[in-house]
């Protein structure tokens, strides 16, 4: 019983104190952005092997407009690496490789490791 009380004092009460009461009722933790400390990888990134042209849809609907550019992993202002998918900068993004480079780029995988730690208590 003493171990359980210590658990409540050390782990539960600090967590409960950090929770906020949601306007619809109930306690919910504050959101945390896990992106900055995560590891991101992809099996197809634009400009990784050599500079390449990419185009993206900038306006949908009937007035489909595209914007084209060049990806180059060696150029700081033309690179679009996987970690840009989760950074907090609205001006950066991850760009997959173009389908013009081959059909194998139809299935590109973006993997995000959120580095979450699990705490398991055993008696």
Q: Are 70 and 52 in contact (CB under 8 A)?
A: yes
What is the per-residue pLDDT for 115? 80
pLDDT along the chain (123 residues), means of 10: 44 48 63 80 93 85 84 96 90 89 84 79 70
What is the per-residue pLDDT for 58? 80
3-class state of residue 121 by DSSP: coil
What is the per-residue pLDDT for 42? 94
Q: Tell me how far CA of residue 47 lies from CA of 25, 58, 72, 74, in angstroms.
A: 48, 20, 4, 8
What is the per-residue pLDDT for 63? 74
Model-level pTM? Answer: 0.63
Closest CA to 71 of 86, 57, 82: 82
Rounded Cα–Cα distance for residues 29 and 50 (Å) = 44
Q: Are 47 and 80 in contact (CB under 8 A)?
A: yes
**Which two structure tokens, joined as six digits, stand for 120?**
């398991």
Per DSSP, what are the bridge partners of residue 19? none
What is the per-residue pLDDT for 8? 38
């Amino acid at each position: 019983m003493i171990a359980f009380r210590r658990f409540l004092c050390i782990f539960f009460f600090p967590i409960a104190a950090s929770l906020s009461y949601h306007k619809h009722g109930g306690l919910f933790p504050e959101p945390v952005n896990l992106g900055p400390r995560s590891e991101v990888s992809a099996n197809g990134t634009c400009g990784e092997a050599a500079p390449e042209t990419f185009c993206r849809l900038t306006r949908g609907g009937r007035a489909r407009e595209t914007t084209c550019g060049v990806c180059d992993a060696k150029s700081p202002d033309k690179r679009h690496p996987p970690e840009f998918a989760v950074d907090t900068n609205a001006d950066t993004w991850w760009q997959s490789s173009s389908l013009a480079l081959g059909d194998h780029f139809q299935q590109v995988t973006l993997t995000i490791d959120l580095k979450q730690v699990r705490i398991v208590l055993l008696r």
